[in-house]
Amino acid sequence: MVIDVHCHIIPNIDDGAGDINISLDMCRIAQEDGTHGIIATPHYIHGTINNTRDLVQEKVLELNNSLRESDIDIEIYPGCEAFICPELPQLVREGQVCTLNNTQYVLLELPMNSVPTYTQDVVYQLKLDGYTPIIAHPERNRTIAKKHDILYDLIGRGALAQVNASSLKGLFGEKVMHTAIELVRHNMVHLLASDAHTTGGRSPKLSRAIDVIEREAGAEALLMIMKNGEAVLNDEPIHIEEPVMYEKGSKAGFVDNIKKVVSGFFSF
């Protein structure tokens, strides 16, 4: 089963689908593209965009009813894209923040320009509470783009990472595409998602990035990444390759880089 774990598919709830017709068209696009299920991940920003678990679950129910009425064979599941803040672990614990299909997996959004100093603390606390944070599109974060090993460190602390299909195809520019490819090469990508907002450029097509992942990381890595979406949906452990520390100018797989991977450091 192909599952899109990050998609702004619910109408009128954030900057995603503007109305129900756009939501349905997005679902048609996803279905034609080979996706079987979508986890709805509207933005949640503490104190600003209050898309709580209860609200998301209600909206998902409505959208699934509309899909049945329209004969579109795709299932929507609840979730959210939670913008990082120091209070996030508490909000997750209290059930304000909707985890991905109510599992252990929390989709975590970082600011575009920085990685806040409390990010490690948030990851640590979520892990301590039994949750697994998934960093949404790290390739779009300008600090990680300059220093990929910030993500390497977060993965070592138990976080996962999700790349946008559109990033791998250059929709956000060459720099983001280059970072996305580097992260794939260095085993720092565990999930592929659309992060779709519309029926246009940011549409829910995962297939467009499949060739890039296969070219850069091989067929086995591609299969693992695709299977991981279903594992998240079912609250199962996902498959993880040990990440390779980044070294500017080098390619993943080089012996020098592999030597830097400290065996047993990763907590999976």
Q: Which residues lie near Fe ion (CB under 5 A)?
A: 81, 195
The residue among 7 and 252 lying less far from Fe ion, judged by its C-beta, is 7
Q: Three-class SS of residue 52?
A: coil
- Residue 82 Cβ, how far from Fe ion at the closest point, in Å? 11
- Residue 8 Cβ, how far from Fe ion at the closest point, in Å? 6
Cβ atoms 31, 72 nearer than 8 A: yes
The residue among 37 and 42 lying less far from Fe ion, judged by its C-beta, is 42
Tell which residue, 77, 78, 64, 144, has the closest CA to residue 110. Answer: 144
* Angle formed at CA 141 by CA 56 and CA 173, multiple of 5 degrees: 100
The residue among 177 and 245 lying less far from Fe ion, judged by its C-beta, is 177
Cβ atoms 100, 107 nearer than 8 A: yes
Q: Three-class SS of residue 223?
A: helix
Q: Which DSSP state fits 44? A: E
- Residue 48 Cβ, how far from Fe ion at the closest point, in Å? 15
- Shortest-Cβ-distance residue relative to Fe ion: 195
Pinpoint the alpha helices (H) of the chain: 20-32, 53-69, 88-93, 119-128, 142-146, 149-156, 165-168, 174-185, 210-217, 219-233, 255-259
Reading the block at residue 34, the tokens are 């080979």
The residue among 139 and 195 lying less far from Fe ion, judged by its C-beta, is 195
- Residue 118 Cβ, how far from Fe ion at the closest point, in Å? 21
- Residue 76 Cβ, how far from Fe ion at the closest point, in Å? 15
The residue among 75 and 81 lying less far from Fe ion, judged by its C-beta, is 81
The residue among 89 and 204 lying less far from Fe ion, judged by its C-beta, is 204
- Residue 17 Cβ, how far from Fe ion at the closest point, in Å? 12
Residues 124, 128, 134, 138, Cα dihedral to 10°: 0
